[in-house]
Structure 1
Amino acid sequence: MLDTTMVVTATWDEEASVWFATSEDIDGLAVEADTLEKLERKIADAVSDLLELNGKGPDLPEIPVRVRTEHVLKIPNPHF
């Protein structure tokens, strides 16, 4: 039974211009998209499929997934 919130990390790949998501809580999760909104839809689809494939079906009407985002914000240095 799954009784905790799963964590997914979404990271911006500046070179490829895409967001990609992975998770230590969800075996096999690896999806990418050009926007966070599209990535969230792909995460939702992948989580459902992977939990079924991995035999980890929760006894809950909804699957709690926390999406954490990581990206580098480059701010011009006013002293440069």
Structure 2
Amino acid sequence: MKKANIAAVILAAGSGSRMGGYPKPLIGFQGKPLLGRLLHAMHEVKLGPIVLVLGYYANAIAAYLQEQAQEDARLGMQPIT
């Protein structure tokens, strides 16, 4: 199936203060981080491109993405100045 010409934006920049300082996108649910579940669902329906807006814990989330990247994934980070 061809990739859809529909972009998605995931807002994942919160501090997670009510979660004890743990990055919310990486909180597990049934053995998999919430962000991983969302990205998997978007990949299954051939949605793309997918843009993540990161803030707090950006490096931890980027490390997770690097570990879990699909073959066709392109990862890049652009700091906001």
Does the TM-score normalized on the shorter chain lie above 0.5? no
Of Structure 1 and Structure 2, the greater strand share is in 1
The normalised TM-score by structure 1 is 0.37
**TM-score normalised by L of structure 2:** 0.37
Q: Quick check: which has more Rg, 1 or 2?
A: 1
